[in-house]
């Protein structure tokens, strides 16, 4: 491949992976079963990124393993309803075309595992998107490092990745025991737990005790928050995740920290300011069918006084539409968008100033963008948005 026998695009991709492997002292390259590519929004890629992608496609590179795509900066069909500027839409459309030319599926979701891209336990994969990395490593037990857009594209094209870090058993052991002394009822509580823990552990692998019985929605938002405030790529939960029993730390083996109710409350307060007219955004990570259904149940037959935007994947949207959920939300005046989210969309250009959110990941990013935030459970926020 490096000699160019499979084309210049493949050679370039492998060069990148070999260099990465050398930096991290990897002994060899191993095959990957799939890739999930991030860095899709025109907001992040800009024209330079777009041209690089188009060049790769021109060089004849094509994905040789299944590869899916993270959210773009807009709903690819309803972007005008999002007030996305025309120039942005042009750039974004070209980006998606370039990805398609590379053989990467334009799923445009951060929850590929909800739309059929579900790696096997123990499989080596190359995933980017921090929340999906956490889900893949921890909940599914597949193995990925914290990959970037370019490395996932390179792995998709070559079908390879360097073997280091979270791909090896010894680096999947916990470094901190996190005892939970708080009631976790709603996905928002798990999101708060992830935010508080991430701050405490940084990139160390946490081992949770006392997680209760988290729903799929709680698991996805927990990982998203862990990766936001810290650099967590893998966590274990006693009685919850598939590797927890095998890696259970013995007494005194790792440092213990305890997280209490007040820690979660303080985290929530940090992102709760006075807001006058926020856009309520539900769907970070992208909504499951259950979450769209919950919002729809609250909106059914009612009218919204404030803007309510729900973000999900195309796969979940199709099912939600079939079940009548989309009609119930949009009938109340809300919007259900696909392909995008409140973080990768060009919110400044769209004129947004305030948001109401049920996820610490989107709260942190929104605050970084200078927006005022308010936090609540999906139920609380939708009720506030209703007339
Ligand atoms: Fe997904 Fe956007 Fe949140 S990519 S995890 S919805 S910030």
| Same-domain pairing of 49 and 133 | yes
| Same-domain pairing of 52 and 152 | yes
Cis peptide before 285 (omega within 30 of 0): yes
Residue owning the nearest CA to atom 6 of ligand 1? 284
Give the residues surrounding ligand 1 with Cβ less than 6 Å away.
Answer: 70-71, 110, 131, 224, 283-286, 311, 341, 343-344, 361-362, 365
Q: Which of 132, 362, 367 to mutate to test the pocket of ligand 1 (most atoms within 8 A of CB)?
A: 362
| Same-domain pairing of 233 and 283 | no
**Total of domains in the chain:** 3
Q: Pick from 269, 290, 314: which residue ends a domain?
A: 269
Report CA(28)–ligand 1 centroid distance (Å): 32
The alpha carbon of residue 379 and the mean position of all alpha carbons in its chain are separated, in whole angstroms, by 22
Q: 4-28 pLDDT, tens per residue?
A: 999 999 999 999 999 999 999 999 9
Q: Pick from 146, 169, 192: which residue ends a domain?
A: 169
Start-to-end CA span in the chain (Å): 61
Q: 179-211 pLDDT, tens per residue?
A: 999 999 999 999 999 999 999 999 999 999 999
**Token duo for residue 328:** 């119930």
Q: Max CA-CA distance within the chain?
A: 65
Q: Which atom of ligand 1 is nearest to the CA of 70?
A: 4
**Token duo for residue 227:** 């990766």
| Same-domain pairing of 195 and 334 | no
Q: Are 121 and 142 in contact (CB under 8 A)?
A: yes
pLDDT of residue 167: 98
Helix, strand or coil, per DSSP, at residue 318: helix
Q: 94-124 pLDDT, tens per residue?
A: 999 999 999 999 999 999 999 999 999 999 9
Q: 141-150 pLDDT, tens per residue?
A: 999 999 999 9
| Same-domain pairing of 265 and 294 | no
Q: Are 345 and 325 in contact (CB under 8 A)?
A: no
Report CA(25)–ligand 1 centroid distance (Å): 31
Report CA(354)–ligand 1 centroid distance (Å): 17
**Token duo for residue 351:** 């004129």
pLDDT of residue 387: 86
Report CA(286)–ligand 1 centroid distance (Å): 6
Q: Can you list the alpha helix ranges (DSSP code H) found in 300-377?
A: 314-322, 325-331, 360-368
CATH of the domain at 341: 3.30.499.10
Domain containing 50: what range?
8-169
Q: Which of 361, 364, 367 to mutate to test the pocket of ligand 1 (most atoms within 8 A of CB)?
A: 361
Q: Are 94 and 45 in contact (CB under 8 A)?
A: no
Within-domain flag for 1: no
What is the Cα–Cα distance from 43 to 92, expressed in whole angstroms?
A: 9
| Same-domain pairing of 228 and 324 | no
Q: Pick from 169, 188, 205: which residue ends a domain?
A: 169
| Same-domain pairing of 116 and 230 | no
What is the Cα–Cα distance from 264 to 283, expressed in whole angstroms?
A: 20
- Residue 60: is its pLDDT beyond 90? no
Residue owning the nearest CA to atom 7 of ligand 1? 343
| Same-domain pairing of 298 and 201 | no
Cβ neighbours, 10 Å, residue 154: 27
Residue owning the nearest CA to atom 4 of ligand 1? 110
pTM of the model: 0.96
What is the Cα–Cα distance from 271 to 280, expressed in whole angstroms?
A: 14
Report CA(124)–ligand 1 centroid distance (Å): 23
**Token duo for residue 71:** 């959210």
């Amino acid at each position: 491949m490096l000699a160019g026998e499979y084309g210049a695009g493949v050679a370039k991709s492998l060069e990148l992976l070999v260099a990465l492997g050398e930096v991290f002292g990897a002994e060899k390259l191993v095959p990957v079963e799939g890739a999930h590519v991030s860095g899709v929004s025109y907001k992040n890629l800009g024209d330079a990124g777009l041209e690089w992608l188009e060049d790769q496609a021109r060089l004849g590179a094509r994905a040789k393993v299944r590869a899916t795509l993270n959210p773009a900066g807009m709903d690819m069909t309803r972007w005008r309803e999002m007030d996305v500027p025309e120039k942005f839409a042009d750039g974004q459309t070209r980006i998606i075309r370039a990805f398609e030319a590379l053989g990467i599926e334009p799923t445009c979701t951060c929850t590929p595992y909800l739309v059929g891209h579900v790696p096997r336990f123990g499989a080596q994969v190359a995933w980017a998107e921090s929340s999906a990395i956490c889900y893949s490593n921890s909940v599914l037990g597949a193995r990925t490092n914290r990959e970037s857009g370019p490395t996932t594209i390179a792995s998709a094209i070559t079908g390879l990745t360097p073997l280091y870090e979270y791909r090896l058993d010894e680096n999947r052991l916990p470094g901190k025991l996190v005892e939970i002394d708080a009631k976790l009822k709603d996905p928002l509580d798990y999101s708060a737990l992830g935010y508080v823990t991430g701050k405490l552990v940084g990139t160390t692998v946490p081992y949770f005790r006392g997680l209760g019985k988290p729903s799929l929605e709680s698991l996805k938002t927990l990982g998203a928050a862990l990766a936001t405030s810290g650099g967590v790529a893998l966590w274990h939960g006693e009685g919850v995740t598939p590797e927890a029993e095998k890696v259970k730390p013995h007494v005194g083996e790792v440092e213990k920290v305890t997280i209490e109710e007040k820690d979660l409350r303080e985290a929530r307060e940090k992102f709760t300011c006075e807001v006058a007219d926020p856009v309520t955004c539900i769907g970070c990570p992208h909504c499951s069918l259950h979450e769209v259904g919950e919002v729809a149940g609250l909106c059914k037959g009612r009218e919204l006084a404030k803007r309510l935007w729900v973000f999900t994947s195309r796969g979940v949207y199709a099912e939600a539409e079939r079940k009548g959920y989309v009609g119930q939300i949009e009938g109340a005046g809300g919007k259900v968008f696909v392909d995008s989210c409140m973080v990768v969309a060009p919110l400044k250009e769209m004129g947004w100033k305030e948001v109401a959110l049920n996820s610490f990941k989107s709260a942190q990013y929104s605050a970084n963008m200078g927006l005022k935030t308010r936090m609540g459970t999906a139920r609380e926020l939708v009720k506030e948005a209703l007339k």
